[in-house]
């Protein structure tokens, strides 16, 4: 049996379940908008959910300084974890928003534009690397 | 198996997953940015064929590939921090390291964007989401290209065999 391009488009674009759920759409919209904001805050104010010490394979809850003689501390895992926990929580709250939420044109722009707006803040947070 | 071989295998798998992701996203980005409306007389050329893919069919694959590539990269990163970054800093390649840090930020950003990106593509028949779908896809593609190129450069600075 052969499938045409039209069949494949139709199959790929008319999924039941999550793809037709207004609640999931609002959840994903709020999660997508909150993620870069939370990430920049975590990066600039150093708010990891945990700190990983690769030299000793140790994990500390929240922020912890590198210990003398034990190698560096890694915060990126912790920042990502903070955002992967907090943004879905905000998304769940957002899933309760009314249908009219997505009618706002600004929401449909911010959902991707916030990622672009966040870039200068991330570049700024890495200033020591650019100026050495 | 030696320790070097073990990590090299994971680095290669990370790279292969990244290539697949880059290809899928680039196909989809061109399809959404420059959709093929009418094939020119004489048949479609390479670029037209490249753009003429079924964009929605790539959405789930892109999400799965981003997550696989992210997990493999995050696993390798533990060794990178000690055995690659420290020598890079000792050699004074600060900007290279800065770009690597930015790449890691973008890799995390992708995770936040994936659910709505998937939703937009699974509702590709709805013109209400056309602009947002295009924006989300192009942002993901731009981040993916940046991550890929920086990863490649860092590998050239101190990767395989170093």
Is the pLDDT score of A44 beyond 90?
yes
For B29-55, how does the pLDDT look when each residue is reduced to its tens digit (9 = 90+)? 999 988 777 656 556 777 777 777 777
Q: What does the block give as tokens for A43?
A: 């990066």
State residue B53's pLDDT score: 72
pLDDT at B27: 92
Is A71 an interface residue toward B (CB < 8 Å)?
yes
Alpha helices in chain A (DSSP H): 5-13, 22-44, 76-94, 105-125, 127-131
- Place A102 in a pLDDT band, splitting at 50, 70 and 90: confident
Q: Which two tokens stand for residue B160?
A: 């395989």
Largest CA distance in chain B: 59
Q: Is A94 exposed, middle or buried (0-12, 13-18, 19+ CB in 10 A)?
A: buried
Distance of alpha carbon B2 from the chain centroid: 29
As given in the structure block, the two tokens for residue B149 are 């190129």
Q: What is the pTM of this model?
A: 0.90
Interface predicted TM-score (ipTM) of this complex, two decimals: 0.91
CB-closest option in B101, B118, B135 to A126: B101
Cα–Cα distance for residue pair A3/A19, rounded to 1 Å: 22
Report A:41-60 residues touching B (Cβ under 8 A).
Answer: 43, 52, 54-55
CA distance A39 to A29: 16
How far, in Å, CA of A89 to CA of A34, rounded?
A: 10
Pairs of CB atoms within 8 A across A/B: 131
Residue A7 has pLDDT above 90, yes or no: no
* Among B residues 46-105, those touching chain A with beta carbons less than 8 Å apart: 54, 56-57, 59, 74, 77-79, 81-82, 85-86, 92, 94-95, 97-98, 101-102, 104-105
pLDDT exceeds 50 at position A1: no
Instruction: State the pLDDT at residue B4.
Output: 87
Contacts of B74 in chain A (CB under 8 A): 77
Q: Distance (Å, rounded) from C-alpha B152 to C-alpha B146?
A: 10
- The candidate with the shortest Cα–Cα distance to B28, out of B144, B112, B127, B115, is B144
């Amino acid at each position: 049996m052969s499938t045409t391009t039209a069949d494949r488009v139709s199959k790929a674009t008319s999924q039941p379940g999550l793809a037709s759920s207004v609640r999931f759409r609002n959840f994903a919209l709020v999660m997508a908008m909150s993620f870069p904001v939370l990430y920049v805050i975590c990066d600039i104010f150093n708010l990891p959910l945990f700190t990983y010490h690769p030299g000793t394979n140790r994990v500390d809850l929240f922020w912890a300084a590198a210990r003398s003689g034990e190698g560096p501390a890694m915060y990126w895992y912790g920042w990502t974890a903070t955002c992967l926990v907090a943004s879905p929580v905000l998304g769940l709250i957002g899933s309760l928003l009314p249908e009219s939420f997505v009618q706002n044109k600004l929401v449909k722009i911010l959902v991707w534009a916030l990622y672009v707006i966040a870039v200068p803040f991330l570049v700024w947070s890495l200033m020591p690397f650019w100026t050495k | 198996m030696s320790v070097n071989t073990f990590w090299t295998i994971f680095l290669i798998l990370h790279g292969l997953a990244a290539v697949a992701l880059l290809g899928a996203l680039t196909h989809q980005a061109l399809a959404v940015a420059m959709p093929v409306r009418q094939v020119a007389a004489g048949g479609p050329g390479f670029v037209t064929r490249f753009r003429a893919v079924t964009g929605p069919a790539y959405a789930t694959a892109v999400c799965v590939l981003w997550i696989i590539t992210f997990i493999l990269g995050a696993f390798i990163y533990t060794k990178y921090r000690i055995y690659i970054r420290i020598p890079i800093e000792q050699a004074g390649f600060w900007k290279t390291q800065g770009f690597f840090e930015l790449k890691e930020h973008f890799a995390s950003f992708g995770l936040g964007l994936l659910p709505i990106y998937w939703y937009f593509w699974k509702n590709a028949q709805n013109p209400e989401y056309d602009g947002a779908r295009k924006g989300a896809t192009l942002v993901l593609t731009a981040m993916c290209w940046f991550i890929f190129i920086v990863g490649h450069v860092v590998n050239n600075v101190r990767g395989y065999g170093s």
